[in-house]
Amino acid sequence: MHVTVRIEVARIRTNAEAVRRRTGVPLLAVVKADAYGLGAAQVIAALRDLADGFCFFSFAEATAADCWRVAGRPGIVMGPPGDVPAERWRELHVRPAVATPADAEHLVAAEPVLMVDTGQQRFACPLELVDEALRRGSIREAMTHASTIEQVRRFTDIVGGRGLTLHAAGTALLDESAARLDAVRPGLALYRGAMRVGTRLVEVRDLRGPAGYTGFSVPRAGVILCGYANGLRIGPCTVNGRPSRILEVGMQSAFVECAAGDRVGDEVVLLGESVSEDAVAAAWGSPPQTVLVQLARAGERAWTR
């Protein structure tokens, strides 16, 4: 492989410890989409003593990861429950999130969690059906996918004060004490700074005029074997530790701006150290979660303690 994706497990633990300290409530670690590319199996094993539970998107993900066997912690599946029977959820020690009174009743033996719609308008129960769903599913726990504090208020207004366990906050709301409720449910906050993606220059030259498909023009450029087929897009990078940028991305290669001393074999960092998820996300015009899942596929992953 031309690109190395190194995942620092100790950093994920440090992040989880920081979330616990910062919030003071139980931590439900979101490990959907293979823990945003960092490896659900590794993350679950690493957080067995720091997370109170794990959140998946699908039953298939939860089955593959088996957090009860690996870490002795229960799970929640946040996406649609599909037609998996209640006994199978119970065997796995994973509870489905339900969004309709019918699913709540059908899965009552699996102790479903009610997903309340506070604005997302997908996979969640409309406010006017919440009472019926709570009753028919004998619901004891409710959640919402909130991105604003107003959504959290809408949530507690409708399900608060009834003795239910409530959680709403992902990474964006960790600093809002009013959003913490009975648990927090971050993904990104656990993974920031834990993935390093690096590669090496395979060609370097002083350019003679405009280069590439786009005719970009710089005095000196290098080539790396990582392109949009590997999830790369135009953005920041470092060359030999110095801030630089991806000039143009092709299918399986990209041009990188170089300086006089840069040579073939020198290291280009696409994520890590001084190239943060946020810096790359800003260049891509998409959320930092995208950067992790996309660059995790750029090369073979290796986990370090």
Ligand X SMILES: *Cc1c(COP(=O)(O)O)cnc(C)c1O
* Residue window 132-151: x/- pattern of binding to ligand X, with contact defined by CB under 6 A: -------------x------
DSSP state of 27: B
Q: What angle do CA 112, 170, 174 make, to 5 degrees?
A: 130
Is 78 one of the binding residues for ligand X (CB under 6 A)?
A: yes
107 Cα distance to chain centroid = 27
Interface with ligand X (CB under 6 A), residue total: 13
User: For residues 16 and 51, is the Cβ–Cβ distance under 8 A?
Assistant: yes
Q: Which stretch binds ligand X (CB under 6 A): 16-24, 183-191, 203-211, 220-228?
A: 183-191
| Beta carbon nearer to ligand X, 179 or 256 | 179
Is 299 one of the binding residues for ligand X (CB under 6 A)?
A: no
Q: Structure tokens of 215?
A: 């005719």
Torsion of CA 78, 81, 87, 88, to 10 degrees: -80
Is 114 one of the binding residues for ligand X (CB under 6 A)?
A: no
Is 185 one of the binding residues for ligand X (CB under 6 A)?
A: yes
Q: Tell me which H or E stretch contains 6.
A: strand 3-8
Which residues have a Cβ under 8 Å from the Cβ of 128 and sit 6 or more positions away? none
* Residue of closest CB approach to ligand X: 187
SS3 275: strand
Is 222 one of the binding residues for ligand X (CB under 6 A)?
A: no
Q: How far is the CB of 202 from ligand X (least distance, A)?
A: 34
DSSP state of 13: H
Q: How far is the CB of 238 from ligand X (least distance, A)?
A: 25
Is 294 one of the binding residues for ligand X (CB under 6 A)?
A: no
| Residue ranges binding ligand X (CB under 6 A) | 30, 32, 78, 145, 170-172, 185-189, 289
